[in-house]
Amino acid sequence: MKISISAQGPNPEALVDPRFGRAAQFLIYDTDTDSYEVLSNAESQDAFQGAGIKAAETISRHGARVLITGHCGPKAFSTLKAAGIEVVTGAEGLSVSQAVDKYRSGQFNAANSSDVRGHWQ
C-alpha cells in the first residue's frame, strides 16, 4: 500500500509540509517495499487556482491510498474522497518518518471533512 505525505524536503527526515495543495513535494511510502519515492508537486504549485485539486489528482495517479498532511481544504478533500484516498490531517510538526510510524501504529484518525476553509492558503 502506498502512503503519500506532504513534505518540506525530499527525504524521510524532512518535516511534514502543513500545506497540501501547495506542498513543496510529496513523499510516497510503499509499505510493501519499506521504501520512499519523491513525487514532484510543481504542477500544483504553479497553478493559479485549484492547487489542492491538482495535487489530489497527482497523488491519486501515483496510486496513493492514504494522504498524511497538515491541513486540507474543501475542494481537495472532495477530490481525495472521490479518488478513494484516506485523509489524515494535523501531522504538521512531525517528520515524514515519524508521521508514517504514527499512522501505522494506528494513532491517527482519518479526517471526515476538510479542516480549513478554501481559497489560497
Partner 1 sequence: MILAVASGKGGTGKTTVAVNLAACLPEPVRLLDCDVEEPNCHIFLKPEIHSSERFTLPFPTVDDNRCNGCGECSRICEYNAIVSLKSKPLVFPELCHGCGGCVEVCPEKAITESRREIGTIRSGTWRHVAFVEGLLDVGQTLSPPLIRAVKQHVGTGGITVIDCPPGTSCPVIAAVHKSDYVVLVSESSPFGLHDLALAVDTMRKLDLNFGVVINRAGPMDHRVADYCRKERIPILMEIPDERKAAEAYSRGLLLIESVPGFRKLFENLYRRILSESRRNPGSMQGDRRDVEGIA
Partner 2 sequence: MKEMVVISGKGGTGKTSLTASLASLSGASAIADCDVDASDLHLVLSPEVQRLESFKSGHEAVIRQDDCIACGTCMEKCRFNAVHEARRYGRPSLFKIDPLSCEGCGVCVRLCPEKAIDFPERTCGQWMVSETRYGPLVHARLAIGAENSGKLVSIVKNEARRIAKERDLPWIIVDGPPGIACPVIASITGASLALVVVEPTLSGKHDMERVFELTKHFDIPTLVVINKWEINPGIAGEIERGATSAGVPLAGKISYDNSVTAAQIKGIPVVEYGGPAARDIREIWHAIERRMESIEKPSVIEV
The full 3-state SS of 52-76, as one line of letters, equals HHHHHHHHHHCCEEEEECCCCCHHH
Task: Please give the Cα distance from 37 to 11 (Å, whole number).
Answer: 9
Q: Between 58 and 89, name the residue whose CB sits nearer to partner 1.
A: 58
Q: How far apart are CA 121 and CA 109, in angstroms?
A: 23
Contact pick of 19, 59, 79, 95 for partner 2 (by CB under 8 A): 19
Exactly one of 32, 33, 34, 48 binds partner 2 (CB under 8 A); that residue is 48
Q: Residue 64 CB, nearest distance to partner 2 (Å)?
A: 23
Q: In what order do the strands lie in the sheet with 25-30?
A: 35-40, 25-30, 2-7, 64-68, 86-88
- Minimum CB separation from partner 1 for residue 29, in Å? 21
The site string for partner 2 over 59-98 (x = CB under 8 A, - otherwise) reads: -----------xx--------------------x------
